[in-house]
Amino acid sequence: MANTFSLILVIATIVTGIFWCLDKFLWAPRRAQEVEAVKAKSNVPLDDEVLASIAPQPVWVEQVVSVFPVIAFVTVLRSFIYEPFQIPSGSMKPTLLVGDFILVEKFAYGIKDPVFRTELIATGKPERGDVAVFKYPVNPQIDYIKRIIGLPGDRIVYQGKQLYIQKACDEAPCGPLTKVEMKPVGPFMDGHVQVDELSEQLTATLSHHVLNNNRRSERIGNYFNQPETVRPDEWIVPQGHYFAMGDNRDDSLDSRFWGFVPEANLVGKAAAIWISFEFGRDDSSALPKWVPTDVRFSRIGGIE
Q: Is 112 a catalytic residue?
A: no
CA separation (Å) from 58 to 13, 15, 23, 255? 20, 17, 10, 55
Tell me the chain's radius of gyration from C-alpha atoms: 27
Q: Which residues contact 29 (CB under 8 A, 6 or more apart)?
A: none
Q: What is the rounded distance in angstroms from the CA atom of residue 221 to the CA atom of residue 199? A: 27
Q: Among the options 93, 106, 112, 146, which is catalytic?
A: 146
Q: Is 146 a catalytic residue?
A: yes
CA separation (Å) from 175 to 26, 96, 146, 178? 68, 33, 26, 8
CA–CA–CA angle 126, 132, 136 (5° rounding): 110
59-76 and 2-22 helices cross at what angle (nearest 10)? 130
Task: Tell me how crowded residue 128 is: count the other CB atoms within 10 A of its CB.
Answer: 17
Q: What is the rounded distance in angstroms from the CA atom of residue 236 to the CA atom of residue 260? A: 10
Q: Among the options 91, 252, 255, 276, which is catalytic?
A: 91
Active site residues: 91, 146
